[in-house]
Chain A
Amino acid sequence: MTPFEPGPDTAAWWQRLRAGELTVQHCCDCAAVQPYPRSGCAVCMSESLELRPASGKATVYSFTVVWRAPSADFAPDVPYVLALCELEEGPRLLTRLVGMPRAAVKVGMPVRLVRCEPVSNEVALPLFGA
């Protein structure tokens, strides 16, 4: 997994993950949950938005076992399980499923945040598992 420089609209979200906490961005005016952190609410356009702790509970919306890596950076990880996980709060995250056999992964199964993997001083990637 590769590091990157977070943008100004997502830096706080990544900082919380670096401290081990998964959050979801809520609108303070209309309460809409944003699919991912942004500068204004995608429903009412309010610029009053807040990161609130997420439960860390999710279900596997879909998954794939990657055998052909996108670049040399990822080649040592092959094969790895990429999953689109739907958080209890609604948003979906692309993530890796770790600590479980590939054959045990099923669409619809419950998973949870198992660790936040640091890739830089600013960023830790949320990883899920059984």
Chain B
Amino acid sequence: MSGAVIVGVGDTPVGRLAGQSAMMLQAAAARAALRDAGLLPADVDGVLAGTVRTEPRLMPSLALAEYLGIRPRFCTTDVMGGASSCQMVALAAMAVETGAAEMVLCVHGENRASGMSRDDAVAALAKIGHPELETPFGPTIPAYYALIAQRHMHERGTTRADLAAVAVTMREHAARHPGAYLRSPLTVEEVLASKPIAEPLHLFDCCPIADGAGAVVVTTAARAAQLGQSGVRLLGWGEAHGHEHMVAAQSLTESAAVQSGRRAYERAGLGPDDVDAAMLYDCFTIVVLLELEDLGLVARGDSGAFAARGGMRLGSDLPVNTHGGLLSHGQPGSAGGIFHLIEAVRQLRGTADGRQLDAARVILVHGNAGTMASHVTMLLGKADA
């Protein structure tokens, strides 16, 4: 069990938000989270931020602190791609537990859609591969995930229709979220018929690049009580990091999420059966299936059928990404994971409006970075969970 609690969340809408810099988006989300917690900049003594590609900065977290009017005693930039959102909350928890800081603001977001051309964004992302052993052959991020999908299909019998079902469920959920990017209805047939990007992945198997930002405030239970709220508890978390480059991955169908999940469950004294809903990093449809299996939420080989029969929908066995996930709520650079955390907090507080779960007490949040390379799993719970 961890002593850290989340006392504030805030976000901007996600989509094409012209006329806003990455700093403005981050600051808007940060102010919303601080207002939500009942705090002013002077109350914050820790600032963590993710990286930004559209605005080069030497120390992004410190630039943000300065802009917000915060002079922190704990401040660093987290460079773990899509896992950064969860990792920042883990670092914040360690900071408040050790006394390195007491009130930590975690912010992730940028103007990836408006601040870069699509070609530039694709080219920049393609360079995350090994510069000698991978990039010269012409991979893209979708191509790396397509390699994972193809292997999963081979080993577990997963079909393109199974993958499409993930995209459809995400779209149904996003339709209930006023800040989501893609909210118009989507069918399995439309996903299957969308243009191929890197087979077996087609356009709607891939998350849309967007603008947007989110923020989370982490503190101790004692400080939360002073703020007049019980907060949402961080019941446990775990990390595991397998490889940086896909050529060095041990397996494409069993990721280090197995270990990050196990560590999170152990720390929380919980197991997969205790999880009422899951917010799973979903940069591509295949990632959700792999995470369901690796985190023990669905038996190995059953994830495709689980998705196809609607097991992840609101009101079903295990609601997944009730905000619509990266696939439909949107992906501002690597920052989309912050919205999984924010959605979990809103669900546990009972403020998720038209998509509120009935009785969620424990929600799992998972962040993934690189090519299923780096993993952080968190278990969040109601104050009395």
Contact A62 B151 (CB under 8 A): yes
Contact B199 A64 (CB under 8 A): yes
Least CB distance from A85 to B in Å reads 10
Across chains A and B, which 7 residue pairs bring their CB atoms closest together, nearest first? A70-B126, A64-B146, A107-B154, A62-B151, A74-B138, A65-B199, A62-B147
Complex Cα–Cα for A119 and B135 (A): 13
Contact B248 A62 (CB under 8 A): no
21 contacts between A and B (CB under 8 A): A1-B137, A2-B136, A4-B135, A4-B136, A7-B132, A14-B132, A36-B130, A36-B248, A61-B252, A64-B198, A64-B199, A66-B139, A68-B142, A70-B123, A70-B138, A72-B119, A82-B139, A82-B147, A92-B247, A92-B249, A107-B154
Report the interface size for chain A: residues with CB under 8 A from the other chain: 40
Is B134 an interface position by the 8 A CB rule? yes
Question: In chain A, what residue has the closest Cβ to B249?
Answer: A92
Is B87 an interface position by the 8 A CB rule? no
Cβ-neighbour of B150 out of A70, A92, A107 (below 8 A): A107
Which residues from chain B sit less than 8 Å from chain A, CB to CB? 119, 122-123, 126, 129-140, 142-143, 146-148, 150-151, 154, 195-201, 246-249, 252
Contact A71 B136 (CB under 8 A): no
Interface flags, A35-67, vs B, CB<8A=1, else 0? 110000000000000000000000001111111
Q: Inside 8 A of B195's CB, which chain A residues have their CB?
A: 67
Contact A4 B139 (CB under 8 A): no
Q: Inside 8 A of A68's CB, which chain B residues have their CB?
A: 122, 140, 142, 197-198
Q: Given A64-B150, A70-B139, list of 6 further CB < 8 A pairs?
A: A2-B135, A4-B131, A64-B143, A65-B199, A70-B122, A96-B138
Q: Inside 8 A of A62's CB, which chain B residues have their CB?
A: 147-148, 150-151, 154, 252
Contact B252 A82 (CB under 8 A): no
Which residues from chain A sit less than 8 Å from chain B, CB to CB? 1-4, 6-7, 10, 14, 35-36, 61-74, 77, 79-80, 82, 84, 91-96, 107-108, 119, 123, 125
Contact A69 B140 (CB under 8 A): yes
Q: Inside 8 A of A91's CB, which chain B residues have their CB?
A: 247
Contact B138 A84 (CB under 8 A): no
Q: Inside 8 A of B151's CB, which chain A residues have their CB?
A: 61-62, 107
Q: Contacts A67-B195, A107-B150: A94 and B139 contacting too (C-beta < 8 A)?
A: yes
Least CB distance from A38 to B in Å reads 10
Q: Inside 8 A of A72's CB, which chain B residues have their CB?
A: 119
